Amino acid sequence: MADTGKTTGALLPPRTPGRVVWCQGHVYVREAARWVGVDDRGRPRSLTDAELRHHGWSLTRAAR
C-alpha cells in the first residue's frame, strides 16, 4: 500500500531517513529504524513505527 500520509492504522509512516512527522503535537524525525523527538518536558524520546502508528501521526502539524 502506498504511503499517502493519512493517519489510518493500515498505513505505515514514511521510512526515509530525515523525514519529519507529527505525533501528539510533537515533531519526530526518522533516524535509522526509530523516530526521534522530545516529550512535553523537552526530554529525548524515540518511537518505533508500531508505537508511532499506535499514538497516531501526521505529515502536518495538527491540534492535539
Q: What is the pLDDT of residues 3-48, one digit of tens each?
A: 444 444 448 889 999 999 999 999 999 999 999 999 999 999 999 9
Residue 13 belongs to some domain of the structure? no
pLDDT at 58: 94
Our CA angle for 19, 7, 49, nearest 5°, is 55
Q: Are the CB atoms for 26 and 35 separated by under 8 Å?
A: no
Residue 38 belongs to some domain of the structure? yes
Residue 51: DSSP 8-state = H
Instruction: Enumerate residues 6+ apart whose C-beta is below 8 A from 57.
Output: 7, 13, 21, 22, 23, 28
pLDDT at 11: 81
Residue 31 belongs to some domain of the structure? yes
Residue 1 belongs to some domain of the structure? no
Number of structural domains found in the chain? 1
Residue 40 belongs to some domain of the structure? yes
Our CA angle for 61, 28, 8, nearest 5°, is 60
Residue 2 belongs to some domain of the structure? no
pLDDT at 2 over 50: no
pLDDT at 8: 47
pLDDT at 12: 84
The range of the structural domain enclosing residue 35 comes to 20-55
